[in-house]
Amino acid sequence: MNVDTKIKVMIVDDQEVIREAFGMLLSNDESVDLIGALPDGQSAVEMVPVLGPNVVIMDVKMPGMNGVSAAQKIRENNPEVGIILLSAYDDSENIREFLKDDPRGKSYLLKHTLGTMDELVRTIHDVAAGRTVLDPIMVEKLTTEKGIDDNSPLTSLTRRELEVLSLMAKACTNSTIASILYIQPRTVEHHINSIFSKLGIASENGQHARVQAVLAYLKATGQSRNEILN
- In the listed set 102, 134, 166, which residue is the last one of a domain according to the structure? 134
- Answer yes or no: do 75 and 189 share one domain: no
- Going residue by residue through the chain, which has 230 residues, state the pLDDT in tens, using 9 for 90 and above: 444 589 999 999 999 999 999 889 898 899 999 999 999 999 999 999 999 999 999 999 999 999 999 999 999 999 999 999 999 887 878 888 888 878 889 988 888 877 678 889 988 998 998 888 877 777 666 655 555 556 667 788 888 898 898 888 877 889 989 988 889 999 999 999 999 999 988 876 666 788 888 888 777 766 544 444 44
- Answer yes or no: do 97 and 177 share one domain: no
- Answer yes or no: do 116 and 20 share one domain: yes
- Answer yes or no: do 36 and 107 share one domain: yes
pLDDT of residue 205: 65
Rg (CA), the chain: 18
Confirm whether 127 is domain-assigned: yes
Domain CATH number, residue 64: 3.40.50.2300
- Answer yes or no: do 89 and 27 share one domain: yes
pLDDT of residue 44: 96
- Answer yes or no: do 92 and 51 share one domain: yes
Confirm whether 111 is domain-assigned: yes
Q: Are 7 and 54 in contact (CB under 8 A)?
A: yes
Cβ within 8 Å of residue 149, ≥6 positions away: 155, 220
- In the listed set 116, 134, 152, which residue is the last one of a domain according to the structure? 134
Domain extent at residue 87: 7-134
> How far is 142 from 97, CA to CA, in rounded Å?
12
Number of separate domains in the chain: 2
- Answer yes or no: do 201 and 181 share one domain: yes
- Answer yes or no: do 158 and 190 share one domain: yes
pLDDT of residue 211: 82
pTM higher than 0.85, yes or no?
no
- Answer yes or no: do 123 and 164 share one domain: no
> How far is 26 from 124, CA to CA, in rounded Å?
11
- Answer yes or no: do 185 and 121 share one domain: no
- Answer yes or no: do 76 and 127 share one domain: yes
pLDDT of residue 93: 83
DSSP for 110-144 reads EGGG---HHHHHHHHHHHHTT--EE-HHHHHHHHH
- In the listed set 86, 110, 134, which residue is the last one of a domain according to the structure? 134
Confirm whether 1 is domain-assigned: no
What is the identity of the amino acid at 178? A
Domain CATH number, residue 150: 1.10.10.10
pLDDT of residue 148: 57
Confirm whether 2 is domain-assigned: no
